[in-house]
Structure 1
Amino acid sequence: MPQRADTLIEARWIVPMTARDLVLEQHALVIQGGLIAAICPIEEARREWDCAETIKLPEHVLLPGFVNAHTHVAMTLFRGMADDLPLMDWLQNHIWPAEQRLVDRDFVRAGTRLACAEMIRNGTTCFNDMYFFPRETAETASDMGLRASIGHVIIDVPTRYAANAGEYLAKAEEMQATFQALPRISSMLAPHAPYTVSDDTLKQVLALAERLDLPLHMHIHETAAEVAQSVEKYGMRPLARLDQLGILSPRLLAIHMTQLTDEEIALCAARGVSIGHCPQSNHKLASGAAPIAALQGAGVGLALGTDGAASNNDLDMLAEMQSAALLAKGASADASVLPAWDALAMATLGGAQAIGIGDRAGSLAVGKMADCIAINLDHPATQPVFNVVSQIVYAAGRDQVTDVWVEGERLLASSSFTRIDWPALRQEVQDWRDRIRGK
């Protein structure tokens, strides 16, 4: 007698990301109670499962949802506001003043709603954030149905969110109960960067992370100027300083890492540090590029992120994968570096592992959460199909993402939102644009 389940998804291809180069043809995925109950040939699934809903995807590939390992989602409201500038000019003369003037709870909720809509539309099911007013980010992401890791930013700079490091730390601890109570939300501590967080504050961050058993999320070695500044101020490069303080460990997700020596790559591998690569943002800000070939060769865990839409200018993980693969090949003068499969792994299981949820998300396997997406390959840009994964990484566009499920809930159905009132959200965003302009 067939077993009861909620949803049966029949797909032309399934890429589960459970074994290298594994692509299943004419298979089905069964969802029960938000979890994956089975992955098997379509005919077998029809015999053995009685599902309330059957979804047929005859020209689609079903794969794990993308995990965006580094975002500042509320900053989506600043998209296009200050382009074509180097990092410190962009930050000090444009972004930080705008934040001091505008960023509050309402700004963060609106920016997060816009970012979540964009991410759902492009196949992202989980994001790892770092920004002010993290409670509002967490609550909004939960309301929108996405999974999120919320980094509680800690910085030695007063903002509209907190006056000093002690207040940031106190709020971080107070909010853990809130985060734990929200569906699909986990948390991290997010000291901003070595140049904005003192040794004393970093010691307190590490102590709190160890006491609460939380991961760390931090911008590190983003630019050559940051490294030079550290040498001048501390007599050592940022990574050496962080290692001296005990920050480098499997607990740490280090973002950017564009300026690394061979010794520093070996140190990251030895300490078990994961690295979040943001190629498009790094290149747009002319910050450099993480040495992906060397990091991969050393066995360092790699994840992929977009950074914020204020510096990217989008949250498109398909475009990020293509950029990561092409830039790695160009930088190493080796076309075999970061093949399509590895780029896809960085955007799925690699990201989930880096933020501590690899046992629950990032791949499609029985017992894992049903976080999955469908991409329609019946499109002029992705025909003919010789290699499904190559088509995803090198050819597919975000307009080809048709369906998105998070924990079995369908957030995008045949390219239409199921939770989001886009006209209302668009008007809210346009109102914020006028406010940012000063109208």
Structure 2
Amino acid sequence: MTATAAPLDLLLLPTWLVPVEPAGVVLKEHGLGIRDGCIAFIGPRDAALKLAAREVRELPGMLLSPGLVNAHGHAAMTLFRGLADDLPLMTWLEKHIWPAEAKWVDEAFVRDGTNLAIAEQIKGGITCFSDMYFYPKVASDCVHNSGMRAQIALPILDFPIPGASSADEAIRQGIELFGDLKHHPRIKITFGPHAPYTVCDANLEKIRVIAEELDAVIHMHVHETAFEVQQAVEQTGERPLARLARLGLLGPRFQAVHMTQISEDDLALLVESNTSVIHCPESNLKLASGFCPVERLWQAGVNVAIGTDGAASNNDLDLLGETRTAAMLAKAVAGSATALDAHRALRMATLNGARAMGLDSQIGSLEVGKAADIVAFDLSGLAQQPIYDPVSQLIYATGRDCVKHLWVAGKPLLDDRQLTRMDEQQLTATAIAWGQRISGHSE
């Protein structure tokens, strides 16, 4: 791979470089050059050192990979972390989360909760995340200021939500925000009908038409629990995924989040429509929602990405840990130790997420011409030794505390574990203050 004569802005020299594409490749003693926010060079270390570069960073003992892509979450819900644990989904939602949202969620809540989520995700190696929460313009402003990349899904429900008195108002706001940000280099606006049981056919059809006109993605919770599917069948005689197919929503621009319940007919619909599935194993485990059959989907050719879900039901935004859980769970569900190996798990947390968002031409793998969204994991610690396969060590033996550096579009957002554009102490203090208010202990 070659670079032009213009000097590189930054040359990175890690011990290992894992491009993700081609699949299964680990490059040792290679360099990666960045120019104008994009990857301009990947090649052997000797060739890299002959290039002119304004800055050279030696990264001994480190693995360079594409930044992690968190394909589903509710960023501002970091401020509800641990508020209502150990409860089933509908009890958790109806008795605790929805009332708390009605009482507390406003623009300030979303701003402070989203900033907390962004900082946590940067420190965990995430360069791009999907957010589906109220006051999406506020969240977009947070993303813009942070330097991070995100997909912002406009939440749409049949009843009033914070910031929108009706589904029509939420849709109008979405169209306006889409227009305002359609040329933003790091923010992609999408439509987020909450779930089949909270959005009627008429509103889903409106969303489909608008998404087609704008070439926008649709992001939706689907088949999260067996109860959801059973209730739909009892009431309408139709499984939720089949209903979405009938309404014309499924397709390469549709992201089906959770999908713990998949029949043979469901699988055929996913394959035929080229719909992406977003797997959130830890939230599903904690809420006892069920198990997404990841290996079965993968072998059928379905694009499966991974998300943390919100911190209120996980309770962290640790995508590296989530990926480890996904790999372990896939083996148990498939009854096969070869299911979702480490290299495929990393692909699920990077390129598959980018593909689900329609961003795979820009991010998700380390390739010349793509955006320099990159994370450096430090594998030099005692708990990572000895190293036979650095990708296996990353997935099975490494925690997010090993994230050392992170760049989005070539700009450093984390340098030697320190946030470069956000004040960690202030974020912590603000979160503590919200916790005291919400728990009723503030003076």
TM-score range for the pair, normalised by the shorter chain length? over 0.9
The alpha carbon displacement at 1:160 in A equals 2.2
Question: Paired residue for 1:22, among 20, 25, 30?
Answer: 25
Q: Tell me which residue corresponds to 2:6.
A: 3
Counterparts of 2:180 and 2:391, CA distance in 1: 39
Could you say which residue in structure 2 is the equivalent of 1:120? 122
1:135 touches 1:179 (CA, 8 Å); kept in 2? no
C-alpha contact (below 8 Å) 2:375/2:403 kept by paired residues: yes
Question: Does residue 258 of structure 1 match 2:274?
Answer: no
Contact 1:191–1:216 (CA<8 Å) still a contact in 2? yes
In the aligned structure 1, how far is the partner of 2:185 from the partner of 2:356? 20
Alignment size in residue pairs: 438
TM-score by length of 1: 0.98
Q: Distance in 1 between matches of 2:383 and 2:124?
A: 16
> 1:402–1:413: 8 Å Cα contact kept in structure 2?
yes
Match of 1:201?
203
The alpha-carbon deviation at position 357 of structure 1 amounts to: 0.2
> Counterpart of 1:6 in structure 2: which amino acid?
D
AA of the residue aligned to 2:431: V
Contact 2:31/2:45 (8 A) holds in 1:
yes
Per-residue CA deviation, residues 312-361 of structure 1 (Å, 9 max, x unaligned), is 00011111111001011011111011111111100000000000100000
Partners in 2 of 1:391 and 1:352 — Cα distance?
23
Write the mapping of 1:213-224 to structure 2, written as runs, cut at 5 A. Answer: 213-224=215-226
Alignment correspondent of 1:46: 49
**How much does 1:194 deviate?**
0.1
Q: CA deviation at 1:162?
A: 1.0
From 330, 345, 349, the counterpart of 1:328: 330
Structure-1 separation of matches of 2:419 and 2:192: 31
Q: Deviations over 1:99-143 (max 9, x none)?
A: 001111110010011001100001000001111111111110111
Kindly report which structure 2 residues correspond to 1:58-73, keeping only aligned pairs within 5 A, or say none.
58-73=60-75
Code of the residue aligned with 2:112 in structure 1: it is A
CA 359–183 in structure 1, closer or farther in 2 if over 3 Å, else same: closer
Opposite residue 27 of structure 2, the aligned amino acid is: L
Query: Separation in 2 of the partners of 1:365 and 1:86?
Result: 43
1:158-173 equivalent positions in 2, closer than 5 A: 158-173=160-175
Gaps of 5+ in 1: none
Match of 2:59 in 1: 57
TM normalised by structure 2 equals 0.97
* Secondary structure in 2 matching 1:345: helix
Q: Give the secondary structure class of the aligned counterpart of 2:121.
A: helix
- Stretches of structure 2 lacking an aligned partner (at least 5 in a row): none
Matches within 5 A, 1:234-273: 234-273=236-275
1:177 is paired with a residue whose SS is helix
Name the SS of the counterpart of 1:127 in structure 2: strand
Q: SS state of the match for residue 264, structure 1?
A: helix
1:372 paired residue number:
374
Asked if the contact 1:142/1:183 (under 8 Å) is kept, the reply is no
**Could you list the per-position Cα deviations for residues 392-437 of structure 1 after superposition, in whole angstroms to 9, with x for gaps in the alignment?**
1111110100000000001111111111111111111111111211
Task: Report what 1:341 is aligned to.
Answer: 343
Give yes or no for contact 2:135–2:162 (8 Å, CA) kept in 1.
no
**How far is 1:180 from its partner?**
2.6
Task: Specify the alignment match of 2:189 in structure 1.
Answer: 187
SS in structure 2 opposite 1:171?
helix
Aligned to 1:352: 354
Residue 113 of structure 2 is aligned to residue 111 of structure 1: yes
CA contact (8 A) 2:326 2:345 kept: yes
The 1-side partners of 2:184 and 2:370 are apart by: 19
CA distance in 2, matches of 1:159, 1:248: 25
Amino acid at match of 2:377: I
Find the partner of 2:178 among 176, 179, 203.
176
Supply the AA of the counterpart residue of 1:204: K
The more displaced of 106-115 and 425-434 is 425-434
Q: What's the offset of the Cα at 1:2?
A: 5.4
1:224-278 alpha-carbon deviations (Å, 9 max, x no partner): 1101111122211101111111111111010000011122112100111000000
Question: Which residue pairs with 1:420 in the alignment?
Answer: 422
Alpha-carbon separation, structure 1, partners of 2:325 and 2:365: 22
Q: How far did residue 23 of structure 1 move?
A: 0.5
CA positional deviation for 1:181? 5.0
C-alpha distance in structure 1 between counterparts of 2:64 and 2:230, whole Å: 46
Counterpart in 1 of 2:92? 90
Matched letter for residue 43 of structure 1: D
Q: Structure 1 residue runs of 4+, over 6 Å off?
A: none
